[in-house]
Amino acid sequence: MSDNRLIWLNGNIVPVNEATINVLSPTSQFGANVFEGIRCYWDEEEQQLYSFKLEEHYKRLKNSMKMFRMEDKYTIDELKKGLIDIVLANNYREDIAVRQTVFIDGFGSWMSKGPISMFIAPIAKSRSDIEKKTGMKCCISSWERISDRNLSPKVKVGANYINSRMAQMEALENGYDSAILLNNQGKISEGPGSCLFIVRDGKLITPPVTASILESITRDTIIELAKNEMEIEVIEREIDRTELYICDEVFLCGSAMEIGAVSNVDGIVVSNGEIGSITKKIHETYMKTVTGKLGNYRKWLTPIYV
């Protein structure tokens, strides 16, 4: 299926091999693009595909465009319609991930403001099953997370992922599954493509949005679910590196990853090395939420087939 996918490109629906861009465009040369990674979950009973937190993704996409000084070209309704149209054109009846990217097209330079183009690319991606997973082994990266004074982590711009790439490549080459980056204050920030939580004495702790992190939609969802559905206290505060060695649980989260347990940091086993009970409970509650099984949160879902 993935090779025959249809892609939305500037209002046209085209086979993936025909969805091409100019090699000289600033997106191609300098990573001048902002994007979102959006999940949609298939409901077999209802024969319906539900996208999760579309409004929040488009709000962040527009914020990225504003910070990146792109013209505010698309309305939320246009952004949403493009996604729905391309998913319908592909007739997906399974879990998918959608990449929606607004980019600087044309023949300009790294400082061009336009012309602005957009593509929307869905791909099949099934949901995670925590029972089948083992925790990841992570290292603290020798690479520092980008900061708001150089490349803001709040802008979800393609070029930011060079920082993620350096950290992830180093981690893999050294035998780890992934990396956790420190910010320019030496405090924990996030993973290469995910936010981080730890559990200490039954409390959930996560770095604040000013700790050089992306303002993650999954992080916000987990904070709300923990407080309102699970009666777990959530604390947003700086986290020291060594707290990862002595805490009870560590997990990473993101739209693509969902919840990913971390069982080892820098070669030090987290608790007994098993996936912790709070991480499991959060995974379960999160998956129920994104698949519409928690009535209170169906407001976060948008049906695709109407």
Look up 187 and say whether it is catalytic.
no
Residues 184-223 as x/- pattern, contact with ligand PMP by CB under 6 A:
------x--xxx------------------x-xxxx----
- The residue (of 249 and 258) whose beta carbon lies closer to ligand PMP is 258
Instruction: Compute the Cα dihedral for 241, 245, 249, 253 and give only its sign.
Output: positive
Instruction: Determine which helix (DSSP H) or strand (DSSP E) holds 20, and give its type and residue range.
Output: none
Output the CA torsion 208→209→211→217 (10° steps).
100
Nearer to ligand PMP, 229 or 274 (CB): 229
- Closer of 21 and 151 to ligand PMP (Cβ): 151
Pick between residue 180 and residue 270 the one whose CB is nearest to ligand PMP.
180
| Residues between 149 and 168 that touch ligand PMP (CB under 6 A) | 164
Q: Kindly identify the residues of this chain, within the stretch 244-273, that bind ligand PMP according to CB under 6 A.
A: 254-255
62, 156, 187, 281: the active-site residue: 156
**Cβ of residue 157: shortest distance to ligand PMP, in angstroms?**
11
Number of residues lying near ligand PMP (CB under 6 A): 13
The conformational region for residue 239 under phi > 0 = left, psi -120 to 50 = alpha, else beta, is beta
Residue identified by tokens 């099949």 is 124
Cα 225 to Cα 284: distance, rounded to the nearest angstrom: 11
Q: Which is nearer to ligand PMP, 5 or 219 (CB)?
A: 219
Containing 44, the helix (H) or strand (E) segment is none
The answer to whether the Cα torsion of 156, 162, 164, 168 is positive or negative is positive
Residues 67-106 that bind ligand PMP (CB under 6 A): none
Phi-psi sector, 273: left (phi>0), alpha (psi -120 to 50), beta:
left
Report in angstroms how near the CB of residue 216 gets to ligand PMP at its nearest. 3
Query: Quick one: the chain helix, strand, coil %, rounded to 5?
Result: 30, 30, 40
Nearest distance, CB of residue 281 and ligand PMP, angstroms: 19
Backbone angles phi, psi at 154, to 5 degrees: -75, -25
Question: Is 225 one of the binding residues for ligand PMP (CB under 6 A)?
Answer: no
Q: With binding defined as CB under 6 A, does residue 37 bind ligand PMP?
A: yes
Report the interface residues with ligand PMP, using CB under 6 A: 37, 164, 190, 193-195, 214, 216-219, 254-255
What residues are annotated to the active site?
156
